[in-house]
């Protein structure tokens, strides 16, 4: 049976976790705002430079060369921005995932303690029911661990795919720029 102290301690731990996750969420938002401010400043400066370059063009051939030269850095910057955005999102998500894993492990331990306590105080002849209960809890824990591993593998695969697509986009842009 849970005591008042255990309930208060659990509530305190949950509140600390909530505040910690809120802090991580704000840090993610701050990083996102910082990234967007930097990208906006860079885009404004680049637009001014590009406008100056366009005003100094003397013929159509020079204009085509200038356009080809502008296209490749834009694609690379877009890929870099997307990569930064992905890193911020995945980092923040990883913090939430770690907290969820810790909470799940703690809940499993507490539940197993309750089951063990119930088993110790169970009436004679209920050993089979207790064994079935422990087996069910163990199976549930194994299933949760399998799901966590699958999610982690899927996340790693998604990141690898993102990096491959980004790399292909930069390569394709460079090849297209060379053809012009």
Q: What angle do CA 31, 34, 38 make, to 5 degrees?
A: 140
pLDDT exceeds 70 at position 176: no
Q: Cα separation of 165 and 169, whole Å?
A: 6
pLDDT exceeds 60 at position 180: no
The CA–CA distances, whole Å, from 175 to 60, 62, 64, 65, 81 equal 22, 20, 16, 14, 21
Tell me the mean pLDDT in the region 137-152: 77
pLDDT in tens, 79-125: 888 888 888 888 888 888 888 778 777 777 777 777 777 777 777 77
pLDDT exceeds 80 at position 19: yes
Radius of gyration of the chain (CA): 28
Would you place residue 12 in the very low, low, confident or very high pLDDT band (cuts 50, 70, 90)?
A: confident
Q: What is the pLDDT of residue 33?
A: 92
Domain count, the chain: 1
Mean of the per-residue pLDDT values of the chain: 80
Would you place residue 37 in the very low, low, confident or very high pLDDT band (cuts 50, 70, 90)?
A: very high
Q: What is the pLDDT of residue 2?
A: 61
Domain that holds residue 154: 4-179
Contacts of 39 (CB under 8 A, 6+ apart): 77, 81
Q: Cα separation of 109 and 13, whole Å?
A: 15
Q: Are 92 and 28 in contact (CB under 8 A)?
A: yes
Of the candidates 82, 57, 85, 87, the residue with the CA atom closest to the CA atom of residue 69: 57
Q: Which is more confident, 168 or 85?
A: 85
Q: Are 107 and 87 in contact (CB under 8 A)?
A: no
pLDDT exceeds 70 at position 179: no
Q: What is the pLDDT of residue 38?
A: 92
Q: Are 86 and 11 in contact (CB under 8 A)?
A: no
The CA–CA distances, whole Å, from 174 to 46, 82, 93 equal 19, 18, 33
pTM listed for this prediction: 0.59
Percent of the chain with pLDDT over 70: 91
Distance from CA of residue 39 to its chain's centroid? 21
């Amino acid at each position: 049976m849970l005591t008042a102290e255990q309930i208060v301690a659990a509530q305190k731990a949950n509140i600390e976790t909530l505040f910690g996750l809120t802090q991580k969420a704000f840090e993610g938002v701050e990083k996102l705002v910082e990234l967007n401010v930097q990208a906006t400043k860079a885009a404004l400066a680049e637009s001014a430079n590009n406008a100056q370059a366009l005003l100094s063009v003397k013929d159509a051939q020079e204009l085509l060369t200038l356009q080809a030269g502008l296209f490749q850095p834009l694609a690379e910057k877009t890929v870099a921005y997307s990569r930064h955005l992905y890193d911020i999102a995945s980092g923040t998500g990883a913090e939430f995932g770690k907290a969820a894993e810790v909470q799940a492990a703690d809940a499993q331990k507490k539940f197993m303690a309750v089951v063990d306590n119930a088993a110790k105080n169970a009436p004679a002849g209920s050993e089979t029911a207790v064994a079935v209960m422990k087996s069910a809890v163990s199976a549930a824990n194994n299933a949760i661990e399998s799901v966590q591993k699958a999610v982690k593998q899927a996340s790693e695969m998604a990141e690898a795919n993102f990096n491959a697509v980004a790399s292909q986009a930069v390569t394709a842009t460079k090849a297209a720029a060379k053809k012009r």
